[in-house]
Amino acid sequence: MTDGEARPGRFDHCPWEFWSRSDDEERAAQLAHQEALAERLRADGGTAEFGDRVFVSPWAGIHTDSLRMGDRSYVGAHAVVTDEVSMGRNCTLNPFTTARGRVLMGDGVRVGAHTSLLGFNHGFAPGAPVHKQPLTSKGIVLGDDVWIGSHVVVVDGVTIGDHCVVGAGAVVTKDLPAWSVAAGSPARRLRDRRDTAPGPVPSSLRPSAGALDGRLEAFARRAREQAAEVLGRCRTEGVPADRPGATPTVRAGCDAVEIADLLLGGPPPGEDRDALVERLRALQDPVTGLVPEVGGSAPTLDDHAAMYHILCVGYALGLLGSRFAHPVRAVTELPAERLVERLDALPWRTEAWRSGNWVDGVGTALHFASPGASPQAEALFGWLLTRADPRHGLWGEPDAREGWRQPVNGFYRVSRGSFAQFGLPVPYPERVVDTVLAHSLDPAWFGPYRGTACDVLDVVHPLWLCARSTGHRAGEGRDWARGQLERVLTRWQDGAGFSFALEPGESKDRVPGLQGTEMWLAVTWLLADLLGVGEALGYRPRGVHRPEPAPVGAG
């Protein structure tokens, strides 16, 4: 392969093969060609810079004022490269491509054959022939990891963002945001590239994955180092309370178990596991199987706290290697027809959150009793499947006061205790994603300094759950999760943990405590895992907010 060859060879048309298939003589000839090319360009007043394992076909027309080629980049035969062209690492200008004017390419840019990158333009005012009009050059910018198909034209002034794909034959006249898949003449954005498949983005495609991994690892390490202090400050007369000086509650004791399991891998410091198990088991009413609040009266299925205690006490016992002393008979012995009547009577249109809380408790009690089929479970799932609204995938409707907040919160509670806990797909997952994303943009709940642990959990868990079965609008979900994660990672308060509302203040929801810490630790994992970096935290929720179905016999 020399400048004097009669016609191009295989490597000129398949330059990606050169460094893996060429012999010593061919490699020496290529390096000599690069040296000669650089000398010629410099002699004409230009500059040239070639990285390692670069290939430039002698049959390419290289007439640049400034040329830079990063490591493992190549230019194929009959390409025309002029003016100012900069290629990052692993970039390609395939045979018969044109790159003229000012063209800046990031790393990993692939440009298909017969494509033109035209980083200049002619004036065409009516006062003079076109050939006498002045040339202008705004330049073209191609981000990292961009694939441009064959026979594409990219005009001057266009920026194509990171990770974009441009279909063959397109004419790109306007900027494309990162992750766009575009085609047509003029090109238009068809979808987000990340929506092509469910599940997390591969680590090799995650922007700044390494930096985010490091921040998550540092956050988790900091939380572990301070876990004992966080737990120790939230006790009243030796009994867990949500915040310093607060009244002890059943939930506070369970939150302490969850935090200790997440960060320390065992029971709370200073607690004897067996004694703690016995204390939790003793809370249960042996007749109904429900757990009243500390100092409360006999619980019923209409007791909001008792319904949540099915979750928090049952899962806390599971984390400690135990389970309830009695079945939750108020649920397991409820006739199926009576269960349906109660589901129909719940205030879905006005209080979807309260309704979802009830379903969550019922579903959890049924799962603890028997994770398989039962008349009550069949009745529950039959009702949920036939009552989910196909327009938006939820139970309940928005209202003028809170918008979608109640239905979205209700959906989280319903799906957590039923479909997620039993390992079943939710109905209408694409519509759920549409509705939840619409809610996530509501400034009343997610504006500056807003977004409590519940509000964020109500969005991220449905997005995480639906992503197991659909890639619908996955990129938008990840963008939202990334913004929330950036906020959470700056709100840990040393020695105290998280407040429920994150932002500092005097109200009880802005004072760091066990509920805020337990919930935000779980939310942080869900946000990170939706972005594909959950493993960097080194923990995975195993209690109330566990992402996968509960193990058989839990609780």
| Identity of the amino acid at 529 | D
With contact defined as beta carbons under 8 Å apart, do 477 and 433 qualify?
A: yes
Mean pLDDT for the stretch of residues 91-116 = 95
pLDDT at 207 over 60: no
pLDDT at 247 over 70: yes
pLDDT band at 449 (very low <50, low <70, confident <90, very high): confident
> What pLDDT shows up at residue 2?
44
The C-alpha atoms of residue 98 and residue 39 are separated, in whole angstroms, by 22
With contact defined as beta carbons under 8 Å apart, do 237 and 249 qualify?
A: no
Mean pLDDT for the stretch of residues 202-218 = 66
Mean pLDDT for the stretch of residues 178-200 = 79
Question: In the beta sheet, which residues pair with residue 47?
Answer: 66
Q: Give tens-digit pLDDT for 289-325.
A: 999 998 888 899 999 999 999 999 999 999 999 999 9
The C-alpha atoms of residue 271 and residue 261 are separated, in whole angstroms, by 12
Mean pLDDT for the stretch of residues 142-164 = 94
Q: Give tens-digit pLDDT for 462-511.
A: 999 998 888 888 889 998 999 999 999 999 999 999 999 987 777 899 99
pLDDT band at 194 (very low <50, low <70, confident <90, very high): confident
pLDDT at 1 over 60: no
Mean pLDDT for the stretch of residues 78-103 = 95
Q: Which helix (H) or strand (E) holds 82?
A: strand 80-87
With contact defined as beta carbons under 8 Å apart, do 457 and 411 qualify?
A: no
Buried (b) or exposed (e) across 138-154, using 16+ Cβ within 10 A? ebbbbbbbbbbbbebbb
Q: How high does pLDDT run on average in the chain?
A: 91
Q: What are phi and psi of 377, to 5 degrees?
A: -65, -40
The C-alpha atoms of residue 544 and residue 314 are separated, in whole angstroms, by 9
% pLDDT > 70, the chain: 95
Q: What is the CA radius of gyration of the chain?
A: 31
> What pLDDT shows up at residue 554?
45
Q: Give tens-digit pLDDT for 391-408.
A: 999 999 999 899 999 999
> What pLDDT shows up at residue 293?
93
| Number of helices (H), then strands (E), in the chain | 18, 21
pLDDT band at 210 (very low <50, low <70, confident <90, very high): low
> What pLDDT shows up at residue 49?
94
pLDDT at 52 over 70: yes
Contacts of 77 (CB under 8 A, 6+ apart): 8, 12, 13, 57, 59, 60, 95, 96
Q: Give tens-digit pLDDT for 323-348.
A: 999 999 999 999 999 999 999 999 99
> What pLDDT shows up at residue 551?
63
pLDDT at 201 over 60: no
pTM for this entry: 0.68
Neighbours of 6 (CB within 10 A): 5
> What pLDDT shows up at residue 547?
83
Neighbours of 122 (CB within 10 A): 12
Q: Give tens-digit pLDDT for 316-328.
A: 999 999 999 999 9
pLDDT band at 135 (very low <50, low <70, confident <90, very high): confident
The C-alpha atoms of residue 503 and residue 506 are separated, in whole angstroms, by 10
DSSP 493: B
Neighbours of 350 (CB within 10 A): 12
> What pLDDT shows up at residue 204?
46
pLDDT at 425 over 50: yes
Conformation bin of residue 181: beta by default, left when phi > 0, alpha when psi is -120 to 50: beta
DSSP 420: I
Mean pLDDT for the stretch of residues 150-155 = 96
The C-alpha atoms of residue 264 and residue 257 are separated, in whole angstroms, by 10
With contact defined as beta carbons under 8 Å apart, do 342 and 361 qualify?
A: no
Q: Kindly tell me the sign of the dihedral angle through the C-alpha atoms of 413, 415, 419, 421.
A: negative
Q: Give tens-digit pLDDT for 527-555.
A: 999 988 898 999 999 999 988 786 644 44
pLDDT at 172 over 80: yes
Distances (CA, A) of 126 to 120, 122, 137, 409: 19, 12, 20, 62
pLDDT at 46 over 50: yes
The number of CA neighbours under 13 Å toward the Cβ of 148 is 36
> What pLDDT shows up at residue 59?
94
152 or 191, greater pLDDT: 152
> What pLDDT shows up at residue 198?
47
Sort strands 140-142 and 159-160 into parallel, antiparallel or unpaired: parallel
